[in-house]
Amino acid sequence: MCHKGGKSLKLRFNKTSMIVSVITVFLIISAAVIWTVQTGKKTVQIPFSSVEKTISQYNNETIKLNEYKDGKLLIETSDGKFESHVPPNSQMVDKLVENYNVQYSYEASSPYTPWILGALVIFIAAIGFYLAKSGKGGVGAANTMKQSVSKPSPLPSISLADVGGIQGEMKDEIMQTLSVLKDPQSAVKMGLNPPKGILLYGPPGTGKTLLAQAIAKELGATFFSASGSAFTEMFVGVGASRVRTLFQNARKHKPAVIFIDEVDALAGKRKQHGGEESEKTLTELLVQLDGGHSNDGILFIAATNRKDMLDDAFVRPGRIDFTFNVPLPDTKGRKEIIEIHTKNRILADDVRNSLEELAESTSGFSGADLHSLFETASRRAVNKGQSMITKEDLDYALDRTILGSATRALQDVNTKRRVAIHESGHALVAAVTKPGSVRKATIVPRGQALGYVAPIPKEMHLSTTTDMLDQTAMVLAGGVAERLYLGEHSIGVSGDVQQAKHIIEQMVDTGLLEDGFTLTFNKVDKERKMQELFQKALERAESIIKDHSEQFETLVDVLYKKETLEGTEVQDIVDLSKAG
């Protein structure tokens, strides 16, 4: 650690010394030029009143008279040079030209201008030389970047066993691909050619880069890794040169895996008229992948979040032989990922016993989200001086991951009570219509929300009309509770209304109506049906709150005092009061 820091410090010191040296040399050159000009001319200063007398002494020879824009007057004779200055609006120079044998010239620039420009050119050349050598600009920068892109990376330490959430069919196809690459002779006997390219696509954070690294590890291949943006360059030919150099180096280190992340920046669809530098870079990539080059022993892997943006010529078979969708993990996949991320962490018993429940309740989480979840929980445990991760740490991490950081607690009593009523409305309707669906209810502000009811998301399922109407009622229940107990609702329902509108619009568009499978093609009819569904959801939420008024009021009081209730506590309040 110290060695790297010292090396970095020494490198910065050397660069600073180089810059100081270049500036010093420029100043020395400038001073030398000015001194040479000043001493070499041996010019005699004379007053303007003595100019005519001086010229008259050399009436038998031609005298050079140079006038400059700044009023300087330079007289060149056989005996030397004389310098004076012309007063403003003086006509003396014209008379001298008329009366004496004078060769007159006028210059708009200073006599030192050529020398100054020369010194400036030398200075710019020195700076350019420094940048070229240091790789910060021009050809030097291009060469440095080209070499950095084409250098092999250390072989990744991650294996396929360390990558969780891979679906069964996809894992089988990857293993088949690896077997062909590991034993190409057996594949050739069966008439099977080793694949040239693999495309991994899917949402961010699903493990595409990890999968590419694991494939390289399984093959024991030299690993070349770069981002698609590393080949995008404004200089003509630089991007194509980087692609060419990358493949040339890979051919020297067979077997090799070339991995390009965010490949859409490099292989995006070409425009109709073409001619852009990026298209020349893409053309070079297409040629290197399948243009008569020997790529035996080289596997090209590309990853992107935007498969639809890729050029058709890039994704065709022969260049990309396998295309794998890397989706968000399902419950089984999340279990595997959670097991990987908890392998080296000390967990409390209640946390370890609830990991399966955590996998079920984190629907929509990517592998990166789950990693961040446990990192956040671990940091909190360390900051609190704990020796293990507790359930409280994990709940905090869930809220932090989903909603953002906590903000200042509610101080105003009226606002706090309104938020308690609002969130209790959501929690009650959710607990009644779908028991066990609430993970937490809180009035502790977090992110943009003053309070929230966190549901337990389930795996994707087919919603019915009743399901979606219950969901709409739950979404609107906060505003309904405010109107029932406080007389009017607040602006805090704006997000609820937009969410409810989206659900209702989806119901109308797909014909999920209570009167049967009915599609609406008229805008007026659509708005009428949406209004009817909205009113039914409001009435359902109001009916549930009124029918369970005792449970609701208990829920408000407990939530106001404790500020946070676990889902089990919410469900117990609803069930116990119901039993009583």
Catalytic residues: 423
CA-to-CA distance for 91 and 89, rounded, in angstroms?
7
The amino acid present at 137, given as its one-letter code, is G
Contact by Cβ (8 Å): 140, 132:
yes
516: left (phi over 0), alpha (psi -120 to 50) or beta: left
- Sign of the CA dihedral 567, 441, 497, 432? positive
Closest CA to 264 of 300, 228, 221: 228
What does the block give as tokens for 193?
Answer: 């050619």
Triad 438, 579, 548: Cα angle to 5°: 60
Dist CA 262 CA 239 (whole Å) = 15
How far out from the chain centre does Cα 36 lie?
A: 56
SS3 content of the chain, % helix, strand, coil (to 5): 60, 15, 30
Token pair, residue 324, equals 């794998």
Beta strand segments in 490-534, E: 512-513, 516-517
Alpha carbon of residue 171 to chain centroid: 29
Alpha-carbon span 384 to 348, nearest angstrom: 15
